[in-house]
Homo-oligomer: A and B are copies of this chain.
Amino acid sequence: MPGMPSQRSEKVGDPFGTHRALEPAGALPQPAWRLDNDFSRLFAGELLLAVETLNVDAASFRQMEESGDVAKQVLETVAKRGKQHNPVTGSGGMLLGRVLEVTPEHPDAATLRAGDRVATLVSLSLTPLCIDAIKAVRPTSAQLDVDGQAVLFASGCYARLPDDISERLALAALDVAGAAPQVARLVKPGTNVCILGAGGKSGILCAAEARRRGGPSSRIIGIESHAPFAEDLRALGVCDEVLSLDARDPVAVRTGVLAANGGREVDLSISCVNVPDTEMSAILVTRDRGIAYFFAMSTSFTKAALGAEGVSKDVDLMIGNGYAHGHAEHTLQMLRDLPAVRALFEKRYG
C-alpha cells in the first residue's frame, strides 16, 4: 500500500549488505550475481529510498545503446539481478532520490528525514533496486527518470543534495568528491605539490585545495596538456606555474617540474590524468620519501610498483580511495568557499 511504512524484519542487517545477496548467498553485494530487492521488509540498518533518476555509468550506457533499447535492458537487468549491474561492462552508476524510510539502526537515523533529497555515492552495482516504471531516457546525460525504490546499507555512502547548488553542479562535484579531502590531509604549509592533469575536474579541486592548505610558502605546479584547460587553470590563479606538458612523457615532466621548483623534486605528486602510462611522471617528480598519490582510474598497479623499483625511488605510492569521511560535504563546501572554482565548474559542468 503506497505510503504505508514497510514491516521491519527482526533480522539484523550486515553493514556491508551481505544479508541481501541471494546468489551466492552471503556474498558481498557487489560481486554477487543477484540481490534481494524485496523491500516489503527492511533489515536493521537499512535506508529505503524512492528513486527518481538513475545516473548510469557512461561505459554501461553506451554498451546498452549499442545493443538495443536501453530502457528494456535496464528493466531486464534489474529483474534478473535485483540491481542495475550491467552484466557486460560490470559497471553501475549512482542514483538520485528521496528518503522514504530510515531504520532506527541506521547510523544517520537521528538526522535523516523522510523526503530529504539524496544522491548515492556507492555504485548501483551493489545497490538493491526495483523499478516500477521508466518515464524517460536521457542519452546526453546517461540518465533515466524512473519510479522505483532502492536500499542503502549502513555502510553505504550518500550525500544530501544542497538547496544552494544546482543539481547538475552538485553531481559533477560529487563525482570526484574523494580527491580534495585526501589532498587536505597531505598538504601542509610549505608542501610542494605537482598535479598531473590539473586542469580537469578532479585536478582543479586538488590544485585549489593544495593552494589553500599550503598557503604562500607552498609551490603548486600544475601539468595540463589540453590548451583550453591549461588556460582555465592559469586564469584561476591557484597554481604557481601551469606547464603545458604531456603527462606520458616522464623526462619532459621531470625537467619541467624541477625547473619550476628551484631544481628540487616535490613532496607530493597527484595524478588526476585519465590516460595510461603516466605513472613514471608522478614517480620521477617526487622527492625521496615523498608521496605519489594516484587518483586516475587508468593507473596500473604494476607499472607504479615496478616503475618506482626500476629507478630506485623510495616514495610512498598511494591508491586514491574514492571515499573519505565527510568527502561530499567537503567538496560541496569548496564550491561555496571558492567562487572562482564554482564559476569555472558552472561554465563547464553546470
Contacts and interface: CB of A to CB of B under 8 A. Distances in A.
Interface of A: 16, 18, 26-28, 30-31, 121-123, 125-126, 155-157, 178, 250-251, 280, 284, 294, 297, 299-302, 304-325
Contact of A301 (B28, B280, B319, B325): B319
The A contact surface, by secondary structure, is loop
Q: Point out which of A155, A178, A306, A320 has the most chain B C-beta atoms below 10 A from its C-beta.
A: A306
A202 B140 CA distance: 49
Nearest to A126: B310
A308 B280 contact: no
Given A16-B311, A306-B123, A319 B318 contact: yes
Contacts of A321: 305, 308-309, 313-317
Contacts of A310: 30, 122-123, 125-126
23 contacts: A28-B251, A30-B307, A31-B280, A122-B310, A122-B311, A122-B312, A155-B311, A155-B313, A157-B309, A294-B319, A297-B305, A299-B301, A304-B319, A305-B319, A305-B320, A305-B321, A309-B322, A312-B323, A314-B321, A316-B318, A316-B321, A317-B318, A317-B320
Given A28-B250, A121-B309, A126-B310, 12 more contacts: A28-B311, A122-B311, A122-B312, A155-B311, A297-B301, A297-B302, A305-B322, A308-B322, A313-B323, A314-B325, A318-B318, A319-B319
